[in-house]
Amino acid sequence: MKLRVFPTIAVASLILGFIPCVARPQDHQPDHAPSTPEERAKAVKIGHALEEDPLSKDAKDERAWVVKWIVEIPDITVNVCFDYFGKLPDPPRGYSTEISWQMVISSAVFMIEHPDKAQDEQAVTVTGLEGALKSYQAILKQDSSARWPFVDKLVQMRDENKLDDYVAETRRKCSQDQEEADPNTMHAQARIAPLWKFANLPNSSTSLTR
């Protein structure tokens, strides 16, 4: 699944199998203030904690907070393409939602911790995917039935130092698909909107045109 981008800054509801896109007007002013140092520190702490223990008693609420925060702040942008996980199960099964969302969260954490590399999409994406794999392996330690064969292949790629090449190839495919959808895609930025339906985030009725 890919995030489709319009010439203006776009918002997408990344619901598995359903990708409505709403273009924002170019003069749209963000409703949320830029992130604060305290918020960024909190997001980093949560992001690392979710990699280590994605099934903790507070994980659901913490994941909801950080995803909602990433969506609303105007100063951190995460470009999303879920093709890295192959074909996502539709409807979600097991912990596919938690694992795929971890890629978004870990990507944002990397950008906060390494602002000098925030524009390096390859580095951001590789680190985000590695965070998702770490989360997946932590889940397996608690629930061996949560095995996801495609993600097992990604873990093997990581262990064989092949993940960087895989990310580069998949990024090219995602970019090509976006360009085919809209030739101006590469001149636009994208901002993600939450998987409200599957992430069980608060304020799920929030307008996607905000």
Residue 126: inside a domain, yes or no? Answer: yes
- 179 pLDDT band, cuts 50/70/90, is low
28 found inside a domain: no
Count of structural domains, the chain = 1
Q: Please write the tens of the pLDDT for every residue from 16-69.
A: 222 222 223 334 445 679 999 999 999 999 999 999 999 999 999 999 999 999
Query: Closest by alpha carbon to 45, among 101, 108, 117?
Result: 108
Task: Return all residues near 7 (Cβ < 8 A) that are at least 6 apart.
Answer: 23, 182, 184, 185, 187, 188
Tell me if 24 is assigned to some domain. Answer: no
Question: Looking at the domain assignment, is residue 110 inside a domain?
Answer: yes
Query: Which of 193, 154, 137 has the alpha carbon at shortest distance from 9?
Result: 193
pTM of the model: 0.75
Query: Is 74 a member of any domain?
Result: yes
pLDDT band at 203 (very low <50, low <70, confident <90, very high): very low
Using the structure block, give the residue that is written with the tokens 């930025």.
189
Q: Is residue 4 part of a domain?
A: no
Using alpha carbons, list the distances in angstroms from residue 30 to 75, 118, 190: 10, 20, 14
Q: What is the mean pLDDT of residues 166-195?
A: 61
Residue 53's domain comprises 33-183
Residue 124 belongs to some domain of the structure: yes
Summarised one tens digit per residue, pLDDT across range 110-123 is 999 999 999 999 99
Segment 65-83, tens digit of pLDDT: 999 999 999 999 998 888 9
Query: What's the CA gap between 83 and 19, in Å, rounded?
Result: 14
CB atoms < 10 A from the CB of 21, how many?
18
> Quick check: is 203 in a domain?
no
Say what the pLDDT of residue 26 is.
Answer: 38
